[in-house]
Structure 1
Amino acid sequence: MKLRSTQYAPFLLFALAFASCKTQSTTTTKADAKLSQSQGVYQYRDEDPLVKPFFSDRVGVIGRNGMVASAHPEASQVGLAILKAGGNAVDAAVAVQFALAVVYPGAGNIGGGGFMVYRDNTGKAYTLDYREKAPGNATQNMYLDSLGNVRPGLSISGHLASGVPGSVDGMAEAHKRFGKLTWAQVVQPAVDLAAKGFALTERDALGLNRIKNDLNTINPGKTYFLKSAEPTDTVTWHKGDLLVQTDLARTMQRIKDQGRAGFYEGETARLLAEEMGRGKGLITEEDLKNYHAVWREPIQAKYKSYNVITMPPTSSGGVALLQMMRFTEPFPLRKWGWNRDSTVQVMIEAERRVYADRAKFMGDPDFVKVPVAQLVSPEYLKTRWTDFSWAKATDSRTIKGGMIPGYESLETTHFSIVDKEGNAVSITTTLNGGYGSRVVVGGAGFFMNNEMDDFSVKPGSPNMYGLIGNQANAIAPNKRMLSSMTPTILEKDGKLFMVVGTPGGSTIMTSVYQTILNVIEHGMTMQQAVNALKFHHQWLPDKTTFENGAFSDATIEGLKNRGYILEKLTNTLGRMDCVLIRPDGSYEGASDPRADNTALGY
């Protein structure tokens, strides 16, 4: 779906009128003045009293023949090896997806699903929806008690929380259409990693230790991901320990030998269905056999001289990203500066309105009408901005989803890959929460998702990320649940420019939005844009959370004086993995220093 930036003049004049007024009142401090752009790269001075605006000083990885940026060093090594062996970006993406299912069990998966945005080297774009589906026996009120109240936890942990997985079918579809190497070549690295084992990073070990009690409670009699078979064992995992996954290796071998059928039929399907039966889950062998990923038309729209290619529903991320970018496009963010009070205020108000629209309009397009073109149109966005005021924060209680005539009413992982020919893949994939439902399929050795929580379990009731949903995202048999995942590719002047995405639950869309603007508005390198400290607002709850150091004292004071509720985070936002095409044609791979993310190129 190609969306043009036509008839933008009324909204542009409207925004510029605000901008001209605000230019006179923007808070200016000596510290702010020392932040500058030099030769297109964002700079700061050591004597600046502001907290340094970056999470770390990590620099990007440069390559000319290929780049892989993923959440785990082992997976990035696998992707790079596939590129060096003559594989293309899709081959590498399939190999990385399966490798992450072994080395990054908290989010990498074959028991979950995801989205792929692909742009080939001729400029043709494609999107693949391999999001999970509700089982055939699912019902709209399956998580409510007799009084209509949500039964806590049922959609988050245990067997009833899982939707029908889509990752294996998605990878099979992508490879069948665009792969260059054989299927066996791209799956074999995952088989080897599971069978031979890999050394845990410190973060790997901490994660497995953290969920030990849940593993014992939800998987009685199983020893998967435990260091010792003894139920009362206090021995914990440590950095450098070897994690061998024999049953998962057998599962991966079946996928390698039989393709899609190695997961959705035969032994693996039997084991998965039996596991669901033991825990009163709903997924059957028939559900698995009937699952199919869907090729959808990408959403494409202009932002200044850039073309944004992103994911359509059932992801809400693409629509939300384009809305936020178009809301802020007319304002002089570059002039105001990175995370200055004016810049932040405009971005918060854009985020607020976008998340309200998400709650009202978004759902599976195979079940409900999603008015994509209207939601990102200049005329509609202008109406959404009429209650904006520089003097005070908008009260989220007064913000609802907009009016469109005729309309009927945090753990994920991302990787970005570009090959030697300039083919580019942006994939975000997930189990939903960390380690999904915490259910490990007996005999098969992989975690199942808890994606059913991404439905509106009860309209108006928040999910685990605090997101509010409506009837458009209600549970129905074989329906895909709404997602915030936002894999995205940008072009500049018709050429590949950026591949971007992140995990982060409800914060995905705002993290992608800020990372893109950090490069094209604030002159940062790709790695600086990833390193840069971030903030987030999602309509409800009505507050802005921010990483420590993201805002100067002057920005905090200016926003609080206008009624904004600010909350400093003790953790971080985003786990970006991105690739930027530099002016000389080389690739800059940027991986997030907030975790084990690793970019590798050659």
Structure 2
Amino acid sequence: MSKWLAMALLLSFSQANAQIEKEKNVKAFEFLSNADSKKAGKALEFKKGAVVSAHPEATAVGVEILKKGGNAVDATVAVKFALAVVYPNAGNIGGGGFLIYRSAKGELNSMDFREKAPALASKDMYLDANGDAISEKSKEGHLAAGVPGTVAGMVALHQKYGRLKWAELVEPAYQLATKGFKITKQQANELNRLQNKFKQFNPLGTVFIKQEVEWAAGDLLVQTELANTLKLIRDKGRAGFYEGEVANFIVEEMKRGGGLISKEDLKNYQAAWRTPIIGSYRGYKIITMPPTSSGGIALVQLLQSVEAFPLSKWGHNADSTVQVMVEAERRVYADRAKHLGDPDFWKVPQKELLQEAYNKGRMANFNWNKATPSSEVQAGEFARKESEETTHFSVVDKDGNAISLTTTINTSYGNYVVVKGAGFLLNNEMDDFSVKPGVPNYFGLVGYEANAIAPNKRMLSSMTPTILEKDGKLAMVVGTPGGSTIITSVFQTIVNVIDFGMDMQKAVNAKKFHHQWLPDRTDIEPDALTPEVQQKLEAKGYTFYKRSSIGRVDAILVTKKGIYQTGADPRGDDTAGGW
């Protein structure tokens, strides 16, 4: 057990000692990682701050930072680097992401630290001599990697809003990498399943390769090379990653495997502050991510599309509820495919897509008696394209500052390349571009010219970190991994709370469904629909595809009493903590 998790497991001091604690400035602290509690839908509540992330070690790190007087930004930076150690399949320094920030005083901001295409990238780089897509090249190996943005993003975030010293925030991750942590059963299964991939793309070896015996739950994973990288980042900040020793390791790795990232690409990378998307839904203010994420625009479109319908009257996952939400999703994903891309390279019709009348109008032609074939649904015209192993975490501090952050290296364990000498996995985000117009990516998402590959361009994403306000006060912090299902998972979680009155844990636990225009089918989790509801909709022409879990939502709801109520997704090792 690590130092950080051990600290997190301390019980709260008794109420009788409250005054002594106050005088000594000792903060009572709770930390619970109870799978039975999550599955039973028991929402945990905290008074002074909360962190919900994909791994108990990372959550513990974040809560400890809050205890020490750090704000939500400090905790975010610490959790982000801790996840790079304990959740290597998605928590990362070799990828990128997005975040939404809301200060206690209501200041709003968003950051795009999404990866970029290398300067040597080209529109047809994944096409063969006949012009056909070679999809493997954009998904696996060195050529699939975009320029990482995580470290730049965390440095910029801390410089603007942080309170504690930078080194203090990276230190926990350095310790976890140096001393190791015990992997979970789920992680052991993943590492065993991917042994051949790790061997294929890492001929010089990596700590993830296990010789002779398989990985097992409880095995200690020590990452010495990663620890050295984190030490450099701790001591030198941005320069510890984008210049010097680590930059040399990255470029050498590119040369070994035919990748494109150069020293100039690394040195030139900058995270971008952007203006958040603002929408509304039943009296709530929706604050969410603008392009290069498609998530924010699509989320507001979905909410606008269903607001006129009495979902609460119909009930959760009732046939009418599902039909309306699926038809909204079908139309919104058609718009996504055609209109959304990096706004620095493509004129995104943001204003038009967010018009309430437009989205209500899009719903006017669906037929209650039958499903609308996706072949009959096209993107709107105006005058004038993710395994699902992304990861999300939500943080709120005692003052009410909040961050919703979603980050990824795209598919689980990215492109399987571990940078030799630096110890971290690279992303395969180049697959999130439209490799060829109309050709689906890993998640079946179709894109066109708006999301074509170009040098230094950011690829489109579905990540949807979101914060809600009610009457000018913080109401919810929410987000999820899940590739193309991210948008619909956030959508359904919000509806579960607002329309169906669920607490945060129940809203997270609730079974989900998903439609993305193409392929023309509705994916459903086991037991998401009753047999009666499914039969009614099938009779109308809806096709259902049963699949494994959809999304892993980590969220925080502010109750009427001002308590932070958490929802940690039971679909993974996700854990809520607070004090």
TM-score by length of 2: 0.92
The equivalent of 1:278 in structure 2 is: 256
- 1:340-379 matches, cutoff 5 A: 340-379=318-357
Deviates more, 1:206-215 or 1:459-468: 206-215
Instruction: Give 1:568 deviation, angstroms.
Output: 1.7
Question: Post-superposition, which runs of at least 4 consecutive aligned residues in structure 1 deviate over 3 A?
Answer: none
SS for the counterpart of 1:479 is: coil
Q: Is the 8 A contact 1:361 1:371 kept in 2?
A: yes
Instruction: Give 1:205 deviation, angstroms.
Output: 1.1
The equivalent of 2:24 in structure 1 is: none
AA matched with 2:228:
R
The equivalent of 1:466 in structure 2 is: 444
**What's the CA shift string for 1:302-351, capped at 9, x where partnerless?**
11210000000000000000000000001000001111110000000000
SS for the counterpart of 2:338 is: helix
Instruction: Give 1:383 deviation, angstroms.
Output: 3.2
The equivalent of 1:579 in structure 2 is: 556
Instruction: Give 1:442 deviation, angstroms.
Output: 0.4
SS for the counterpart of 2:378 is: coil
SS for the counterpart of 2:94 is: coil
**What's the CA shift string for 1:480-522, capped at 9, x where partnerless?**
0000000000001111000000000000000000000000000
Counterpart of 1:168 (choices 147, 151, 154) is 151
Instruction: Give 1:224 deviation, angstroms.
Output: 2.3
AA matched with 1:388:
F
AA matched with 2:50:
M
The equivalent of 2:537 in structure 1 is: 559
Deviates more, 1:127-136 or 1:199-208: 199-208
Instruction: Give 1:382 deviation, angstroms.
Output: 3.3
AA matched with 1:194:
A
Counterpart of 2:546 (choices 553, 568, 573) is 568
Whether 2:34 is the aligned partner of 1:67: answer no
- CA RMSD of the aligned region, Å? 1.0
- 1:222-371 matches, cutoff 5 A: 222-228=205-211, 233=212, 235-371=213-349
- Counterpart-to-counterpart distance in 2, 1:381 and 1:488: 20
Whether 2:428 is the aligned partner of 1:450: answer yes
Counterpart of 1:397 (choices 375, 380, 387) is 375
SS for the counterpart of 1:498 is: strand
Instruction: Give 1:125 deviation, angstroms.
Output: 0.7
Whether 2:545 is the aligned partner of 1:600: answer no
SS for the counterpart of 2:347 is: coil
Instruction: Give 1:227 deviation, angstroms.
Output: 2.9
- Counterpart-to-counterpart distance in 1, 2:572 and 2:41: 12
**What's the CA shift string for 1:407-446, capped at 9, x where partnerless?**
xxx1200000000000000000000000000000000000
AA matched with 2:447:
G
Instruction: Give 1:378 deviation, angstroms.
Output: 1.9
The equivalent of 1:178 in structure 2 is: 161
The equivalent of 2:123 in structure 1 is: 140
- Counterpart-to-counterpart distance in 2, 1:165 and 1:395: 39
SS for the counterpart of 1:300 is: strand
Q: Is the 8 A contact 2:110 2:275 kept in 1?
A: yes
SS for the counterpart of 2:137 is: coil
- Counterpart-to-counterpart distance in 1, 2:363 and 2:563: 40
Instruction: Give 1:58 deviation, angstroms.
Output: 3.5
- Counterpart-to-counterpart distance in 1, 2:41 and 2:466: 23
Deviates more, 1:55-64 or 1:166-175: 55-64
- Counterpart-to-counterpart distance in 1, 2:156 and 2:446: 32
- Counterpart-to-counterpart distance in 1, 2:206 and 2:535: 52
Whether 2:93 is the aligned partner of 1:110: answer yes
Q: Is the 8 A contact 2:119 2:456 kept in 1?
A: yes
**What's the CA shift string for 1:136-162, capped at 9, x where partnerless?**
000000000011100130000000000
**What's the CA shift string for 1:148-197, capped at 9, x where partnerless?**
10013000000000000000000000000000000000000000000010
The equivalent of 1:97 in structure 2 is: 80
AA matched with 1:392:
K
Counterpart of 1:417 (choices 377, 380, 395) is 395
Relative distance call for 1:292 and 1:286 in structure 2 (3 A) is same
Counterpart of 1:509 (choices 487, 492, 497) is 487
AA matched with 1:575:
R
The equivalent of 2:104 in structure 1 is: 121
AA matched with 2:560:
P
Instruction: Give 1:110 deviation, angstroms.
Output: 0.1
The equivalent of 2:9 in structure 1 is: none
The equivalent of 1:541 in structure 2 is: 519
- Counterpart-to-counterpart distance in 1, 2:280 and 2:135: 43
AA matched with 1:351:
E
Counterpart of 2:567 (choices 580, 583, 590) is 590
- Counterpart-to-counterpart distance in 2, 1:589 and 1:382: 33
Instruction: Give 1:352 deviation, angstroms.
Output: 0.2
AA matched with 1:380:
Y
- 1:198-213 matches, cutoff 5 A: 198-213=181-196
The equivalent of 1:44 in structure 2 is: none
AA matched with 2:311:
L
Q: Is the 8 A contact 2:304 2:360 kept in 1?
A: no
AA matched with 2:501:
G
Whether 2:70 is the aligned partner of 1:80: answer no
- Counterpart-to-counterpart distance in 2, 1:588 and 1:55: 13
Whether 2:526 is the aligned partner of 1:526: answer no
AA matched with 2:569:
D
AA matched with 1:564:
Y
Whether 2:220 is the aligned partner of 1:220: answer no
TM-score by length of 1: 0.89
- Counterpart-to-counterpart distance in 1, 2:210 and 2:201: 17
Instruction: Give 1:400 deviation, angstroms.
Output: 1.0
AA matched with 2:83:
L
- Counterpart-to-counterpart distance in 1, 2:141 and 2:444: 20
Relative distance call for 1:55 and 1:245 in structure 2 (3 A) is closer
- Name structure 1 gaps, 5 residues minimum: 1-53
Q: Is the 8 A contact 1:314 1:365 kept in 2?
A: yes
AA matched with 1:437:
N
Instruction: Give 1:384 deviation, angstroms.
Output: 1.6
Q: Is the 8 A contact 2:389 2:412 kept in 1?
A: yes
Counterpart of 1:194 (choices 177, 193, 208) is 177
SS for the counterpart of 1:432 is: coil
- Counterpart-to-counterpart distance in 2, 1:58 and 1:443: 43
Relative distance call for 1:568 and 1:55 in structure 2 (3 A) is farther
Q: Is the 8 A contact 2:283 2:470 kept in 1?
A: yes
- Counterpart-to-counterpart distance in 1, 2:44 and 2:186: 22
Instruction: Give 1:55 deviation, angstroms.
Output: 9.0
SS for the counterpart of 1:77 is: helix
Share of identical aligned residues, percent? 59
- Counterpart-to-counterpart distance in 2, 1:550 and 1:152: 32
SS for the counterpart of 1:220 is: coil
- Name structure 2 gaps, 5 residues minimum: 1-36
AA matched with 1:537:
H
Q: Is the 8 A contact 1:55 1:533 kept in 2?
A: no
